Amino acid sequence: MSVQTEWRRLSVALLVWIPLFSASAQTDPVLWQWVNAESLTVAGQGWRDTQLPFDRLPARAEALVRPAVWNLSRNTAGVCIRFLSDATTLKVRWTLLNQNLAMPHMTATGVSGLDLYVNRDGRWHWLGAGRPERFPDNEATLFSGIPAGKRVYVLYLPLYNGLIKLELGVEPGFVLKPAPVCRKPPIVWYGTSITQGGCASRPGMAASNILSRRMDEEFINLGFSGHGLMEPEMAHLLAELNPALYVLANMENLKAEQVFERATAFVGVLRAAHPRTPILLVEPVRFSHAFLQPTVNRDILQKRRELRRAFETLLRNGVGDLHYVYGDALYGEDGEATVDGVHATDLGFMRQADALEPLLRGLLENSR
């Protein structure tokens, strides 16, 4: 090979290498300050003695509840991180527990993503979302280029997936610290897939999270998709908590013939542990397709009758501070509130919040 040919090959190699080197040299990676979210204010969690940092039931519950309930308790529905920051850019990285990022009728952001709100003049305003793209590790920029200034944030965790690890990142010199802890007793909401947040487009749109922002209250979301069955072990676990109010919305998961016995027994356990805590029984929603499906409609009506019978029986037996909400207002009458006739869209969750908010406010005012 001639010297001239060798020089030409070397020149081509240099032309290829130099731009790559230059681009690399121009990239000045920020040395991000990463903060473990466990060191910030964790809200919406009833127990702290959990296997993973953001599980919804205590570690010992694995030996108490059915495997399906335990697995669903690893989903982080309703759990959120509250923090203060003056950062102009915020990054997040999270490690998922389960590899199913999405469901056919529910977005990946709702199932496995993160949802950020900022407090703006005393009201919560959406700011950014972390969209999951792979399993198990994800990283996203929640916002960038905003004016510097101290603000309060809340980051909602996935509705139908669990987290092994969660970190927030800011550039050097900016603050990221815990927000003040809510000192008021929480509202405990036990129920079904609808309670858990199926099928909100993003975590902040689950009804309990909407109401938490509107009412400035902490909600503990104990929705268990398909498995909110009012079992005795769950009654005793809920009785360990010390809430301002219990909301029981389980009827969609029960058979009509189970409603009376399970509702009365469940309320009995809670009332024995908490003689003065308000308890709200929630009728099943009217499925959007029920008006043309007589069998579906009859089942809903029968569950409602059995729940009403349980409610009236408990009142006659001296159970006080027991309340009841009708189901028709929870989705509205136009059939537009669900993704599949049963599970709520964001519109459906907004309607639930609209229907429940005045009632919840009234119960809290009377009990505090």
* CB contact at 8 A, 165 and 75: no
Domain assignment present for residue 28? The answer is no
Burial bucket for residue 149 (CB in 10 Å: 0-12, 13-18, 19+): exposed
What mean pLDDT do residues 239-252 have? 98
Instruction: Please say which residue of 144, 178, 212 terminates a domain.
Output: 178
pLDDT, one tens digit per residue, over 120-164 is 999 999 999 999 999 999 999 999 999 999 999 999 999 999 999
Closest Cα to residue 94, out of 53, 138, 131? Answer: 138
Domains of the chain: total: 2
Note down the domain range covering 148: 33-178
* CB contact at 8 A, 80 and 156: yes
* CB contact at 8 A, 195 and 221: yes
- Residue 21, pLDDT above cutoff 90: no
Name the band, by pLDDT with cuts 50, 70 and 90, for residue 5: very low
The dihedral sign for the CA sequence 311, 313, 318, 319: negative
pLDDT, one tens digit per residue, over 286-330 is 999 999 999 999 999 999 999 999 999 999 999 999 999 999 999
Same domain, 206 and 122: no
pTM of the shown model: 0.91
Backbone phi and psi for residue 328, each to the nearest 5 degrees, phi listed first: -65, -35
Instruction: Please say which residue of 133, 156, 178 terminates a domain.
Output: 178
Tokens of 266: 């469940």
Which CATH number do you get for residue 41?
2.60.120.260
- Residue 171, pLDDT above cutoff 80: yes
Name the band, by pLDDT with cuts 50, 70 and 90, for residue 29: low
Domain assignment present for residue 22? The answer is no
Same domain, 206 and 339: yes
Same domain, 126 and 214: no
* Cα diameter, the chain: 105
Same domain, 223 and 346: yes
Q: Supply the DSSP string of 239-255, one letter for each residue.
A: HTS--SEEEEE-GGGS-
